[in-house]
Structure 1
Amino acid sequence: MAEEAEKEITTFADFQLNKQLLNAIEEAGYDKPTPIQLQAIPQIMAGHDIMGIAQTGTGKTAAYLLPILMKVKYAQGTNPRALILAPTRELAMQIEESISLLAKYTDIRHTAIYGGLGPKTQIEIINKGLDIIVATPKRLLELYMKGELILKELKTMVLDEADKMMDMGFMPQIRQILEVIPRKRQNLLFSATMPEKVVELSEEFLEFPTRIEVTPQATPVETVSQVLYQVPNLRTKIALLEHLIQDTENLKRVIIFTRSKKNAESVSKFIEHRNYGEVRAIHGNKGQNTRINSMEAFKGGDVRFLVATDLAARGIDVTMVSHVINFDVPFVYEDYVHRIGRTGRAENVGAAITFANEAEMYHVAKIEKLIRMQIPQLPLPAEVEVFKTPFDEQQEIAMEIDRQKRRDNPDFKGAFHEKKAIPRSRKAASKKDPKVSFWQKTKKKKR
């Protein structure tokens, strides 16, 4: 049936959407439905529960929003009739923006609620009446428990980025939410990957779902080229980054992903100090307003570099991102797919560049197994200075390699299976020597 629908439908008008939605779609510049939209929209409009497996950047948000907007049609009553759950505030904000875009010629009332801000304003908006609510699980439950949200009139529930929900430990909250919303409703689950936890969750609340998989699970977007550099240490990663970003003609709008807040701050400060272009960093320690402003500046083209941790990876929806640079390899392998999905969006061409030290190559191999392809590896450019790995970083890498071997073979006894005493001479030296700052380590004369 899905294949038949795909043959028959070639335009958004073929979905029999109302005039208000078609006008908004045309203004948004959507030319033709994407594969996930071709398959999902008819099934959702027919009332089926859906399990959609689609990469980020494939148009899945519009795939569930358009049928919901058709179903809700116009403002009615006080309590929400559709709930969309998202794992992060960034994604919740992105979905709410998409609703604003597609529902601009309707009187449908909608809002996004999430943590990081006081609930007062959100409560005021809820009390005025809503038709669609986008929420992160914790904030939704918080307002429900306070009696500020009535969910008894829900007809549709969407679980977006379900795999990230599981990674972030939201299963208990989702189960609580399922207990307090009406049992008779339409359920839509979307995920880029389908690990066991997501399958378990889908079995709990989806009723005879239609499975829609537009690409094999965890396959990166075809329009994204991928390359890998094996880099020995942090200083050399910085040197490689500096070499690459000097290509202002090709690297026009770049997202750099780091695994830690510390590295995000260090990388953004390095770029800022070297004057390679406007840069912003977003991570968990940044205030909500700072993160929103940084995202808006990046979207508007005022900022060339956005440095982000994985917490923010799923909420970035910016077209024309030329490159994604994985400064650190993610330890949650599905995050690699989500990271590189920030480029090559809306059928545009993009590039993903990954830096990996010796310990991180273990995780690269696991990622390659997940995406069912080998990432092409390039030698370090001759112009990039290769620095000697400091003793502490060398030890850290060696211990991580030991942990990896022990994980694959419990009987393995590595060099670090016992805590070794630090020689007195080295203890004394460490007390005398001041800590060298990040900038002293990376500073070198401009050529």
Structure 2
Amino acid sequence: MTLPVALSGKDVIGQAKTGTGKTFGFGLPLLQRVAVPADAESGRSTVAPGAVPSDIPQALVVVPTRELCVQVSNDLQTAGKVRNVRVLAVYGGRAYEPQVEQLQKGVDVVVGTPGRLLDLARQKKMNLSGVHTLVLDEADEMLDLGFLPDVERILKLLPAQRQTMLFSATMQPQVIALARQYMRQPTHIRATSPDDEGATVANVEQFVYRAHSMDKPELVSRVLQADGRGLAMIFCRTKRTAADVADQLKRRGFASAAVHGDLGQGAREQALRAFRNGKVDVLVATDVAARGIDVDGVTHVINYQCPEDEKTYLHRIGRTARAGNSGNAVTLVDWDDMPRWSLVNKALDLGFPEPAETYSTSPHLYEDLGIPEGATGVLPRAARVREGLDAEAVEDLGETGRGGRRGAPAAAGSAEPKRERERAPRDRSPRRRTRGGVPVKDGAAAETPAPAAAEASPAEDAAAKPRRKRTRRRKPAAE
């Protein structure tokens, strides 16, 4: 539905459920409308009017998270290999120099996060005057959650005559109204299947249980031993909880890794690579990984903590059942989270107003998810076949910070090289020790004979000992 409109150069607002191919919807027209040197040599013409091969970017894709930036850039590189389209990923947490060097060599498409894009533009390292196609992926996140000022600054750097495309699975009416300010007669395309009218994907089988926080690790360990379980993603609300759950699962024998904001960029990319390559089969993440991450073979998504709202719930469970596959979504609701879950359930009409009270030994848990009888909270040694996170090589990214915060310590597992500062030796003069005005040599005071001390005059004695200064506070004039 999107391709004919986007290829013609018109503005598009695309909305469809997670896993239905939105990256393909804007990626193919974007690559088709870019003019590359190979076109000029062969005499082929591009769809974009007036597009000529150049070394400055012709298309810009703005995404909210670093992980999504890496994924989209990899997809565009794969799709653009035939036409030799030069794609560059620009995001924080990496060194500036390699990105600036590639921009100087020439780039056709730039995929980046708002912060790093603005930094390079302010430093005059990136010229956006030739961009004729702009894409905002996960547009509601970009315009709704604090990115709007950065997006507006980026829009001011772009030419007025351009094609703008916005794509997301969830888009509120106020976000659409806000987006229309920056678009010219956009076509709003909302793609749904005739037999799939619900808010969630029909291929996702959803289970909701009311669980106690102290029993959740045991419960999750049993869910991860369900029959037919492939890769699994566990979502938490806080960074500390994500790190703690990943450590607990690792101690229980599961090949787990964590992705959250306190980790350095090298550790985050290492965990995602290990998850994609199958060395790790359980990825514990905060909502930073809930947007757009596409990994083949994810069969189970577990909401360890109740999502904040219905949009977060949709994006979380959308990591499974992608591209027509099926999957399972398990949500654990604590007693304190029941009011929040009631709002999510009502907004999406899920049909789980009162989740069943469930523990790690509840029979209906084993029956619903196909957990074998006798499964415990520890993975049997015979089933520990994954290589683990340590088997994935760490790429030296030349990181600009530690976990994105100045002075923050390197997180465990980040595998960042510890660079000790080489300090030049300081010339320090030896301390002169005195005792009673007399220099101390070899730890003992220089002894003077008693007669000489007795013959010392009062003036000499006063010169040897510094006189103590006494001061008095002046009384007020009235007194």
Which amino acid in structure 2 is aligned with residue 244 of structure 1?
A: V
Give the corresponding residue for 2:324.
Answer: 347
Give the corresponding residue for 1:78.
Answer: 55
Give the corresponding residue for 2:358.
Answer: 380
CA contact (8 A) 1:257 1:264 kept: yes
Q: 1:264 aligns with which of 234, 242, 264?
A: 242
1:130 aligns to 2:88 (yes or no) = no
Name structure 2 gaps, 5 residues minimum.
Answer: 38-52, 364-479
Which amino acid in structure 2 is aligned with residue 365 of structure 1?
A: S
TM-score for the superposition, normalised by structure 2: 0.69
Q: 1:237 aligns with which of 216, 225, 240?
A: 216
Q: Identity of counterpart residues, as a percentage? A: 38
Residue 228 of structure 1: how far off its partner (Å): 0.2
Give the corresponding residue for 1:334.
Answer: 311
Q: 1:208 aligns with which of 172, 180, 185?
A: 185
Give the corresponding residue for 1:223.
Answer: 203
Residue 251 of structure 1: how far off its partner (Å): 2.2
State how far apart, in whole Å, the 2-side matches of 1:86 and 1:106 are.
24
CA contact (8 A) 2:215 2:360 kept: no
Residue 78 of structure 1: how far off its partner (Å): 1.0
Query: C-alpha offsets along residues 14-53 of structure 1, whole Å, 9 cap, x if unaligned?
Result: xxxxxxxxxxxxxxxxxxxxxxxxx001110112110111
CA contact (8 A) 2:16 2:168 kept: yes
State how far apart, in whole Å, the 2-side matches of 1:315 and 1:288 are.
18
Which amino acid in structure 2 is aligned with residue 68 of structure 1?
A: L
SS of residue matched to 2:177 = helix
Residue 88 of structure 1: how far off its partner (Å): 0.5
- Number of residue pairs aligned between Structure 1 and Structure 2: 344
Stretch deviating more after TM superposition (256-265 or 216-225): 216-225
CA contact (8 A) 1:265 1:281 kept: yes
Which structure has the larger Rg over C-alpha atoms?
2
SS of residue matched to 1:322 = strand
CA contact (8 A) 1:155 1:184 kept: yes
CA contact (8 A) 1:228 1:375 kept: yes
SS of residue matched to 1:226 = strand
TM-score for the superposition, normalised by structure 1: 0.74
CA RMSD of aligned residues (A): 1.9
Which amino acid in structure 2 is aligned with residue 140 of structure 1?
A: L
CA contact (8 A) 1:255 1:324 kept: yes
Residue 266 of structure 1: how far off its partner (Å): 1.1
Give the corresponding residue for 1:296.
Answer: 273
Residue 159 of structure 1: how far off its partner (Å): 0.5
SS of residue matched to 2:150 = helix
More helix by share: 1
Residue 179 of structure 1: how far off its partner (Å): 1.2
State how far apart, in whole Å, the 1-side matches of 2:271 and 2:198 are.
29
State how far apart, in whole Å, the 1-side matches of 2:360 and 2:31 are.
55
Name structure 1 gaps, 5 residues minimum.
Answer: 1-38, 386-447
Note the 1:40-55 alignment, pairs <5 A: 40-55=2-17
Note the 1:138-153 alignment, pairs <5 A: 138-153=115-130
State how far apart, in whole Å, the 2-side matches of 1:201 and 1:160 are.
15
State how far apart, in whole Å, the 1-side matches of 2:214 and 2:130 are.
56
SS of residue matched to 2:266 = helix
SS of residue matched to 2:295 = coil
Where in structure 1 do 4 or more consecutive aligned residues deviate above 6 Å? none
Residue 379 of structure 1: how far off its partner (Å): 4.7
Which amino acid in structure 2 is aligned with residue 66 of structure 1?
A: L
